[in-house]
Chain A
Amino acid sequence: MYSLPLLLVLATASPEQAADKPDPSGERDDSATTVELGSVVRGKKSRRPGEIGLTEEEARKVPGGMGDAVSAVQSLPGVGTSIPGGAGLVLWGATPRETAALVDGVPVPSLFHLNGFRSVVETRRVQRLELTPGVFGAEYGRAMGGLIEITTARPESNGFHGSVGADLLDATALVSGALTANLSASASARYSYLNHLANAVGSTAPIPSYGDWQLKALARLRADETLEVSYLGSTDTLLESAAQAAETHRLSFHRLALIYRRAFADGTSVSVTPYVGWDKQRDTTESRGIETFIATRALLAGVRAEYRIPVSRGFELAVGTDTLATSSSLAHVGSLNFPHREGDLYVFGQPPHDELTADEWQTFIANASLYVSAEAMLGPVQVRPGVRVEGFNLEVSRVTPRVGLTPAVGASEVTWVVDPRLQVTWAPTSAFTLTAAGGVYHQAPDPTDLSAVFGSPLLDVQRAIAVSAGASLRWTRGLTAEVTGYARWLDGLAARSPRPNPPLVGALTTDGAGFSRGVQTSLRARFGEHLTGWLSYVFSASTREGGPDQPTRLLDYDQPQVLSLVLSSSWGPWSFGMRAQYASGFPRTPVLGGFFNARTNVYEPIFGEQNTDRLPPFFRMDLHVERRSRVLRGLRVWLDLQNVTNRSNPQERVYDYDFRNRAHLTGLPFLAVLGLGLDW
């Protein structure tokens, strides 16, 4: 898998794996990396420029994350600032929908709970976190924007260990240990309580209620053969109310996976991961006495399998399959233009149309792929070609809206694609590396877009072509500079029809297109435990078009400039962290005035040209302080200070009733979050 340049590698700080910590100098020992994942992994891992190595402990201490290691990904280069109230990430101009989230190779709906406060995997369960924007290898597909993959830690095989923790938001517990000589297991759970505290004091603040849990068992069948069983569950509920509308969001998902790995004496290895899952989501809005909703239930099953062959010295081949089938049942009551999608014109808090319709439909989306990838060392040049042959089967239960008792007529379409991928790395010296990569990527339409009433059952597979090139220079032992340029072209995107009377099943079209490009630079430092961190600057531009005769506009998440500085330091029992981030404000469409709707007695906005204005820039500085107890081994206390400059960062633009005056909805003021944890 490529990751040009963003690989955040975490290693648990457990005693068994203490020897697997990355070399503090920043030079990666591939054999140590192999051991990190267990001796049955897929052989020697290739060197990747731009790789940032952080221990789980260091990631957890990145300020602003409130002790959540996965949240550190929001501070990495190439990642836009968090979408207010959202749980997704924007990578290299890709919307959250275009980025795949994986836990142990299994796709999940989201890596973060609603509102983005916490990840769905408890911090201590995270062994490895990989962020790959834009360009990735043939082993993965079904995504156009990038990958975020979490590898969860294996259960402890030496003794019995655990961890408990609590802070302002939630409490967590983890136990892990050996059941027999060859069997170990772990269990973790998290429960949020801040919403209960808020309700108890009569607050109507939109605090999410969430929980997640994981069970894992590891059986060592032979010296180089393991079988893991992993179960992950997550649930979220969020209630939000404003002057004109109240929204309720519920999301829950479950994943059960078997992970089989075996390494053979001849150097080959095989891994097989079958999995099943169940998702349930319901979003309800009540506005002016009218309730609308969209509900989804999905069952999914898939399997990943890979066989790696070291053909010769310096040449390795991998052959695999990545297959997923998802059966969804959906229901939607509401208006065509709600919920909003990227590219919609709207003013924050504007109620949806009161033109209502309804639909119920089922989809079956199956995706089967075979891939071949190779890794060849030709002196200082490493070449990693790959090809992914993928078939998408899109089945919809209705191709026309329901009319009376007319039976539903469904449709099925199979699309085959061939996605080539290539990465070439040239390292003329041990300190200097040049890398270029590119590939073609395809993604199936979302089941919610396949409604004959609200979308179109005729949507096709979407495509992206991505390229990137970069250079990495290690100036000194511990100081590395990188620069990377990228470009992504998208087409076949689902977009709203601009026609006043669109075709019968054409509320959405496949005419959407997009283009993202940018340059990101970073300077990474690692000087033992006393100083680690990075400084990054990204300059980018992302645009979209709703169709061939539609004007080009900025992507709703476009941020031309993002500057981030993250520093952390440890001195004895004390740890300190600082994060500062400056970013351009998100685009907004100017409102030129308002007109009066005499039927509903409200004013509605008159819009200017789409996304030609911006929110003011965003700046925030966070600090993190942690102390380990010297008296009680394993006890730690941490304090996360968010927005220490107390800057009122505008998050949304709001208007008075007739749009004559405007102001900003601002983000969190200064906030201090205290946490306690005990590890044994």
Chain B
Amino acid sequence: MLVLSALVACAPSFPRQPENVDTPRIIHISSQPPEAAPGEAVVFTVVRTEAAPPVSASWCRVPTAPTDPDSVSADCIAKPGTPVSVMAERVMATLPSDACRVFGPLPPPGGARPHDPDPTGGYYVPLRVTSGELLAFGFQRLRCELANAQLELAIEFRERYPVNRNPTLLRVTARVDEAEIDLSTLPAGRPVQLNASWTPESVEPFVRFDIATQSLVEVTETLTLSWFVSGGVMTSTGTWQVDEPGTYRAWTVLRDNRGGSAVLETALVAQ
């Protein structure tokens, strides 16, 4: 084994994990509705671990180039775009009218190359959000016409595609040694398994256009759960342990793979 393991590079491990909030952070940015057409109004909610500094937000106006390694363009990372209205943690904005051409499947002016969709067939407009030194991007899913497909398919897609809705988180529960326990009476020094529940309607079926087969494919959303906690040690699967008694903040974020999300903040009291 020593020889076998010696034949690979040695990878370092980092003690800090994303589930454990040890610095002020932007945990999540959700949008309502999660999918909208150009010109429609959208409300974003910025979930932060600290209430200050104030939030500022703007739409990105420059899409990514083939040379951009990130999900947003270097221009958008470096400076704000079109400013939008912010009130505390809420951002009120109207989707740019040309969003489907700049960030979507419609050909930009001059015969340029349109953008490619994500695996669910979606296109997104980045919203640049800052809070002091923190920089984060929310992504508003666009409702655009299907491009690069036969007219009949585009019509069928418009008729069959259901606009995305945010999933609904119901509650967070805790179990210790397989027994359910109240969130206000969690034992310090022992592992606690946190679980979240959501409505069945949160998992939505939809259709997407498969470019390889040039056909519409029926698929179902997948949901992912993320956990964050202000103290103790949290794993990505929701196992939490803290040594010091006290009250800790926990955030549970449920995402579907079409840009929809739900956030629940709970108090974990360890005794």
Q: Which residues of A come within 8 Å of B, CB atoms?
A: 84, 168, 194, 197-198, 201, 203, 205-207, 289-290, 333, 335-337, 344-347, 350, 353-358, 360, 401-405, 496-508, 546, 593, 595-601, 603-607, 648, 651-652, 654, 656-658, 660-661, 663-671
Residues of A within 8 A of B77 (CB): 595, 606
Residues of A within 8 A of B240 (CB): none
Residues of B within 8 A of A598 (CB): 26, 28-30, 136-139, 261
Within 8 A of A (CB), among B36-89: 62-75, 77
Residues of A within 8 A of B135 (CB): 593, 595-596, 606
CB distance from A455 to the nearest CB of B (A): 10
Q: How far is the CA of A49 from the CA of B130 in the complex (A)?
A: 63
- Contact partner of A404 (CB less than 8 A), chosen from B139, B214, B253, B261, is B214
Give the residue name and chain of the A residue nearest to B107 (CB).
Answer: A504
- Contact partner of B115 (CB less than 8 A), chosen from A355, A593, A603, A670, is A355
Q: List 25 A-B contacts (CB under 8 A).
A: A206-B8, A344-B69, A353-B71, A354-B119, A355-B116, A356-B118, A357-B117, A357-B211, A403-B149, A405-B214, A497-B66, A501-B102, A501-B114, A502-B65, A504-B107, A505-B113, A507-B66, A596-B25, A599-B71, A601-B226, A604-B71, A606-B135, A652-B9, A665-B12, A671-B7
Contact at B7–A205, with CB atoms within 8 Å?
Answer: yes
Give the residue name and chain of the B residue nearest to A667 (CB).
Answer: B9
Q: A357-B116, A648-B10, A668-B7 are in contact. Are A345 and B69 (CB under 8 A)?
A: yes
Residues of B within 8 A of A497 (CB): 65-67
Q: How far is the CA of A648 from the CA of B115 in the complex (A)?
A: 43
Q: How far is the CA of A518 from the CA of B98 in the complex (A)?
A: 51
Within 8 A of A (CB), among B182-217: 211-212, 214
Contact at B113–A507, with CB atoms within 8 Å?
Answer: yes
Q: How far is the CA of A63 from the CA of B36 in the complex (A)?
A: 63
Contact at B7–A403, with CB atoms within 8 Å?
Answer: no
Known pairs A203-B5, A498-B66, A652-B9; list 19 more (Cβ under 8 Å).
A194-B4, A289-B222, A335-B116, A337-B68, A337-B69, A356-B119, A357-B211, A402-B211, A404-B150, A501-B108, A501-B112, A501-B113, A504-B111, A595-B136, A598-B136, A601-B226, A601-B253, A656-B14, A665-B10
Question: 0/1 per residue, B8-21, Cβ < 8 Å to A?
Answer: 11111010111000
- The verdict on B179 contacting chain A, using a C-beta distance below 8 Å, is no
CB distance from B135 to the nearest CB of A (A): 4
Contact at B137–A597, with CB atoms within 8 Å?
Answer: yes
Give the residue name and chain of the A residue nearest to B13 (CB).
Answer: A663
Contact at A663–B12, with CB atoms within 8 Å?
Answer: yes
Q: How far is the CA of A194 from the CA of B226 in the complex (A)?
A: 39
Contact at A501–B63, with CB atoms within 8 Å?
Answer: yes
- Contact partner of B119 (CB less than 8 A), chosen from A290, A347, A403, A607, is A290
7 nearest CB pairs, A to B: A501-B112, A656-B14, A663-B12, A596-B136, A598-B29, A404-B150, A355-B116
Residues of A within 8 A of B222 (CB): 289
User: Count of B residues near A, CB < 8 Å?
Assistant: 69
Q: A504-B111, A657-B16, A657-B18 are in contact. Are A671 and B6 (CB under 8 A)?
A: yes
Q: How far is the CA of A202 from the CA of B36 in the complex (A)?
A: 49
Contact at B4–A346, with CB atoms within 8 Å?
Answer: no
Contact at A345–B116, with CB atoms within 8 Å?
Answer: no
Contact at B4–A203, with CB atoms within 8 Å?
Answer: yes
Give the residue name and chain of the A residue nearest to B10 (CB).
Answer: A666
Residues of A within 8 A of B74 (CB): 607
Give the residue name and chain of the B residue nearest to A334 (CB).
Answer: B116
Contact at A358–B137, with CB atoms within 8 Å?
Answer: no
Give the residue name and chain of the B residue nearest to A661 (CB).
Answer: B14
Contact at B113–A503, with CB atoms within 8 Å?
Answer: yes
Residues of B within 8 A of A335 (CB): 116
Give the residue name and chain of the A residue nearest to B133 (CB).
Answer: A593
Give the residue name and chain of the B residue nearest to A243 (CB).
Answer: B11
Give the residue name and chain of the B residue nearest to A452 (CB).
Answer: B113
Residues of B within 8 A of A654 (CB): 11-12
Residues of B within 8 A of A606 (CB): 70, 77, 135
Q: How far is the CA of A376 from the CA of B120 in the complex (A)?
A: 67
Within 8 A of A (CB), among B130-171: 134-139, 148-150, 153
- Contact partner of B9 (CB less than 8 A), chosen from A84, A596, A600, A663, is A84
Contact at B112–A503, with CB atoms within 8 Å?
Answer: yes
Give the residue name and chain of the B residue nearest to A291 (CB).
Answer: B119
Q: How far is the CA of A669 from the CA of B138 in the complex (A)?
A: 43
Contact at B73–A500, with CB atoms within 8 Å?
Answer: yes
Residues of B within 8 A of A503 (CB): 111-113
Residues of A within 8 A of B138 (CB): 598-599
